[in-house]
Amino acid sequence: MRTEAKNPLSNEFKVAAEIYHCQINHEVVWYGKLVERLAGVVSKNTISNAIETLFDWGIIKAEFGETETGRAGRLLMISNEAKPLIKELYEKYWKPVVYQ
């Protein structure tokens, strides 16, 4: 993941954009995976706080399921109501900076 350019997204929306990226690529995502993917961009504590804030805002939802490592975990996903907003932020601010 590249992060040379300054990103205007808040930490919460950076976390949401990364969850969205995993979701559109049909990957399961949980807290530990987010920490790995956002290493050097957002701290572990900030990711944890952002997840709780995103739950409060209704932007993400979770269900318990199997992670890629075969263990049980709280799998995160963007809620249907917030998907258009997060898609727009992802396409405009996250994808061009991080994945291009």
| Maximum Cα–Cα distance across the chain | 36
Domain ranges of the chain: 11-98
Flag whether pLDDT at 3 surpasses 90.
no
Cα distance between residue 27 and residue 15, in whole Å:
15
The residue type found at 12 is E
- Which residue is listed with tokens 């992670």? 67
The residue type found at 37 is R
What is the value of pTM for the model shown? 0.91
Q: Which residues are paired to 77 by β-bridges?
A: 61
Cα distance between residue 29 and residue 82, in whole Å:
17
Provide the pLDDT confidence category of residue 96 given band limits of 50, 70 and 90. Answer: confident
The per-residue pLDDT for range 17-26, each reduced to its tens digit, is 999 999 999 9
**Hey, what CATH class is 11-98 in?**
mainly alpha
- CB atoms near residue 74 (< 10 Å): 12
